[in-house]
């Protein structure tokens, strides 16, 4: 995940869904609006001890439900775990077909410009 300033965290708080269990945050996921009809799944994280319990699926499903409610046509994710997203109906795509506007934050990544994440997309 990319490092974010405090200001960036505050400006994107409303993008996040949080899974809480017994007062403990067990997972988070965000839906970020990129373009008029496209969103991005961002910052999906589940605590290691909660892995495999379906929390990631619940969080991504919440984001996709919100995307549908907003009338988005497509949602993409950049991930190191493509199998997870494939189970949710996402398809692998070439990163190059994504609009250049979505890469604005990538320049801050230590792996830029040799990104090794997998691009996945789902049509809603």
Please give the domain boundaries of the chain with CATH numbers for all domains: 6-123 (3.40.630.30)
Q: For residue 64, what are its two tokens?
A: 């996709």
pTM of the shown model: 0.86
pLDDT of residue 71: 96
pLDDT of residue 103: 62
Q: Which pLDDT tens digits describe the chain residue by residue (124 residues)?
A: 566 677 777 677 889 999 999 999 999 999 999 888 999 999 999 999 999 999 999 999 999 999 999 999 999 999 999 999 999 999 999 888 887 656 666 666 666 666 778 999 999 9
Distance CA 16, CA 28 (A): 7
Distance CA 86, CA 83 (A): 5
Give alpha helix (H) positions in the chain: 6-12, 55-69, 82-87
């Amino acid at each position: 995940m990319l490092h974010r300033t405090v200001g960036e965290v505050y400006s994107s708080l409303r993008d996040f869904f949080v899974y809480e269990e017994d007062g403990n945050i067990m997972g988070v996921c965000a839906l970020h609006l990129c373009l008029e009809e496209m969103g991005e799944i961002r910052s999906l994280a589940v605590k290691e001890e909660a892995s495999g319990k379906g929390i990631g699926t619940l969080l991504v499903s919440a984001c996709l439900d919100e995307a549908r409610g907003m009338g988005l046509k497509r949602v993409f994710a950049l991930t190191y775990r493509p199998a997870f997203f494939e189970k949710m109906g996402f398809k692998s795509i070439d990163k190059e077909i994504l609009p250049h506007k979505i890469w604005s934050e990538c320049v801050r990544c230590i792996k830029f410009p040799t990104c090794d994440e997998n691009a996945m997309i789902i049509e809603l």
